[in-house]
Amino acid sequence: MSYDTWEIWLLIGGLGLGTFLIRFSFLGLIGGRRMPEWVLRHLRYAPVAVLPGLVAPLVIWPEATGGAPDLPRAAAALATLAVGLWTRSTIWSILAGAGTLFGLIALGV
Amino acid sequence: MTTASNTGIFLRAALDGAPFMLVVAPFGLLFGVISTEAGLSLAEVIAFSVLVIAGAAQFTALQLMLEHAPTLLILAAGLVVNLRMAMYAAALAPHLGAAPLRWRLLMGYFNFDQSFALGLQAYEAQPAWSMPQKIAYFLGVALPLGGLWVLVTWLGAVTGAIIPDNYALDFAMPITFLALVAPGLKSPAHMAAAATSIALALALAWLPAGLGLILAAMAAMAVGAEVERRGAGP
């Protein structure tokens, strides 16, 4: 790693402060005021707008396999999604995904 | 339910968040191990997890450091990855915006994927909750998970444990995110937003880390809102 100590601390401090300001942003600025309906209508879709896009490249091009598609990881992603849709439960969804992944790897797939 | 004590709600929230420990733990452990092996000191590794508490951003920063990217670019990329949390703050504001400042500062610090997703879900299911009850729920999810995040980071850093690749710990994050999203795909508008997000994130994957994701998310939110406005959701 080719960074001076001060550069690393600048990065950690900057990332920490910046992340806090992002997280606090609307909690701090808006206070108790209600926001317009069209804003709320957009924000309602924030989680399903960000997280699938965050996951998709990780599933299709897993870093651990150097970006090559991988059957256990693809199957685990499908199992997590399917069980989550079916049960509407985050708990069962995670267990299905982890079980599928480690099961297939244990079987040597 | 509105008569539930704050302690009771805090404990219920901790239970709701408990399954995420199974994915937070290996993920934080992995960060500790990899960042230590990459040459960061124990203090630097711990500071990362205490000050940033954001797995995706921490791993993004680590990856770019290994690629010898300029410090300011790494900073920018990490923050872009975390921009989604501004949307979390905005979505939580109608529920938590009237809380006293010191509590909003604390919840802002702890406003991450799991606390946001479970918190919002609970507030929509329990509209009669008082502010202390809402705060108790949020912190009940966030404190154990945030504490565990730092603890396992430390554990990974000091043991430097060798984790075989075939344990697939790298996949803890995708499973976490999918498990957070799937139960919420409850209408055509949600489905349309998710599909837009996936398609654009893949199509824009060539952009600098995090930038394609943010553009995809903006478009996906607009698609979800428009489908809802036309009467197909939520």
User: Per-residue pLDDT for A75 more than 80?
Assistant: yes
User: Structural domain tally of chain B?
Assistant: 2
B170 to A63: CB separation less than 8 angstroms, yes or no: yes
What is the rounded average pLDDT for all residues in chain A?
85
**Residue in chain A nearest B39 by alpha carbon:** A1
Residues B232 and B4: their CA atoms lie apart, in Å, by 36
Two structure tokens written together for B78: 């990490």
pLDDT of residue A34: 62
Q: Is residue B88 located within the same domain as residue B163?
A: yes
Q: Is residue B74 located within the same domain as residue B159?
A: yes
Q: Is the CB of residue B48 less than 8 Å from the CB of residue B35? A: yes
B164 occurs within a structural domain: yes
Strand ranges (DSSP E) for B49-135?
none
Q: Is residue B71 located within the same domain as residue B149?
A: yes
How far is C-alpha A72 from the geometric centre of its chain's CA atoms? 19
Q: Is residue B104 located within the same domain as residue B201?
A: no
Strand ranges (DSSP E) for chain B?
none
Give the N- to C-terminal CA distance of chain A in Å, as an integer: 35
* Pick from A8, A18, A94: CB nearest B23: A94
Q: Is residue B52 located within the same domain as residue B132?
A: yes
* Pick from B96, B179, B220: CB nearest A53: B220
Show residues of chain B in contact with A50, CB under 8 Å.
Answer: 84, 87, 197, 213, 217, 220
Q: Is residue B34 located within the same domain as residue B103?
A: yes
Q: Is residue B83 located within the same domain as residue B189?
A: no
Q: Is residue B193 located within the same domain as residue B137?
A: no
Q: pLDDT under 70 in chain B at which residues?
A: 1-3, 67, 161-170, 173, 209-210, 232-234
B41 occurs within a structural domain: yes
Would you tell me which residues 108-167 of chain B have a C-beta closer than 8 angstroms to some C-beta of chain A?
108-109, 111-113, 116-118, 165-167
The residue range of the domain holding B203 is 185-234
pLDDT of residue A21: 93
**Residue in chain A nearest B36 by alpha carbon:** A1
User: Per-residue pLDDT for A76 more than 90?
Assistant: yes
pLDDT of residue B47: 97
B180 to A90: CB separation less than 8 angstroms, yes or no: yes
Minimum distance, in Å, between the CA of residue B119 and any CA atom of chain A: 13
pLDDT of residue B192: 96
- Please report the DSSP string for B151-167 in residue order: HHHHHHHHH-----GGG
pLDDT of residue B217: 84
B56 occurs within a structural domain: yes
* Pick from B52, B182, B229: CB nearest A16: B52
pLDDT of residue B73: 76
* Pick from A27, A40, A88: CB nearest B104: A27
Q: Is residue B69 located within the same domain as residue B13?
A: yes
Establish if B213 touches chain A: CB-CB under 8 angstroms: yes
Three-class DSSP category at B225: helix
Q: Is residue B140 located within the same domain as residue B202?
A: no
Q: Quick one: which of B74, B110, B119 has its CA closest to B92?
A: B119
B222 occurs within a structural domain: yes
Q: Is residue B116 located within the same domain as residue B226?
A: no
Residues A42 and A73: their CA atoms lie apart, in Å, by 31
Minimum distance, in Å, between the CA of residue B57 and any CA atom of chain A: 9
- A7-57 per-position pLDDT tens digit: 999 999 999 999 999 899 888 875 455 667 787 788 778 778 877 887 888
How far is C-alpha A5 from the geometric centre of its chain's CA atoms? 30
Last residue of a domain, one of B136, B171, B206: B171
Residues B168 and A69: their CA atoms lie apart, in Å, by 14
